[in-house]
Amino acid sequence: MFNIEVKCPFCEVTGGLMSTHAHMAEAHLGLVITQHDPEADRMTYSIACPYCEHIASSQVKPRNRNPRFLQEYKAEIAMVAFDQILYHVLGEHPADVGIDPAVLGLDSDSDHGKDE
């Protein structure tokens, strides 16, 4: 992954990509909304982008029919959800989390000019 510093989209904490991701899962767990639709027997999670209307959501595949699945696996679900929202934020709102878009490799010519 990128060796970059990224600000948490939900607060002012800044750190490496991995540590910010871990921070989000720990500090902002409550922002991940999980829902269980008993009729369709479907579980979904969703998390809203703090910078736009985008909502990252996906279906959760439970490993069993444990009705407490969502509580027990909330941390795992949150890791995936924050992964998604972080990817979205890096792609759509890099400046808001202190990222120069060029660092993400969007400037494809930046690798040239380094001769050995």
Query: For residue 104, which phi and psi values (nearest 5 degrees)?
Result: -80, 0
Which range, of 40-48, 50-58, 63-71, 77-85, touches Zn ion by CB under 5 A? 50-58
Regarding 36 and contact with Zn ion (CB under 5 A), the answer is no
Regarding 8 and contact with Zn ion (CB under 5 A), the answer is yes
- The enclosing H or E element of 10 equals none
Under DSSP, is residue 76 helix (H, G, I), strand (E, B) or coil?
helix
Give CA torsion, residues 1, 46, 77, 5, to 10 deg: 30
Which string of x and - marks every residue 59-88 that binds Zn ion (by CB under 5 A)? ------------------------------
Which residues would be at the binding site for Zn ion (CB under 5 A)?
A: 8, 10-11, 13, 27, 49, 51-52, 54, 92
